């Protein structure tokens, strides 16, 4: 049978909208570190750059800086420069970033359950 002859099901507008929503979320949170950064700020609150670097073992400073800039550009975190010597920079979730609560919690719970299943066998 020719593949061109196989009927492709038509997606409902609701289904198409959900797929676009998933794509938008993946674009915002894609990459190895963004969800971990958001999780660190969600569970740990406001953090300085070096605190985030220590918490996210294995991330290079250049990569962390880029990911923080991306998250700030997309209004998921805010960056505050404190008038200290040396200058201190703190990062925290914005209201938009906090709205990812259900996503972060669901990912954390799923990951914990998955890990338990792997090690119970």
- In the beta sheet, which residues pair with residue 48? 90
Name the pairing type of β-strands 77-82 and 47-48: unpaired
Q: How far apart are alpha carbons 95 and 107 in whole angstroms?
A: 19
Mean pLDDT within 96-119: 94
Tell me: the pLDDT tens digits for 45-89? 999 999 999 999 899 999 999 999 999 999 999 999 999 999 999
Q: How confident is the model at residue 96 (pLDDT cuts 50, 70, 90)?
A: very high
CA angle 22, 28, 33 (to 5 degrees): 115
- In the beta sheet, which residues pair with residue 11? none
Rounded to two decimals, the pTM is: 0.83
Domains and CATH numbers, the chain: 13-120 (1.10.10.10)
């Amino acid at each position: 049978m020719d593949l061109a002859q196989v009927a492709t099901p038509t997606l409902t507008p609701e289904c198409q909208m959900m797929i676009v929503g998933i794509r938008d979320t993946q674009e915002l949170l894609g990459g190895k570190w963004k969800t971990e950064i958001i999780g660190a700020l969600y569970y740990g609150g406001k953090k300085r750059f070096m605190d985030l670097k220590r918490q996210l073992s294995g991330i290079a400073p250049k990569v962390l800086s880029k990911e923080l800039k991306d998250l700030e550009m997309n209004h998921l975190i805010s960056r505050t420069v404190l008038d200290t010597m040396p200058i201190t920079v703190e990062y925290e979730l914005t209201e938009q970033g906090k709205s990812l609560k259900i996503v972060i919690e669901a990912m954390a719970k799923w990951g914990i359950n998955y890990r338990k299943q792997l090690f119970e066998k």
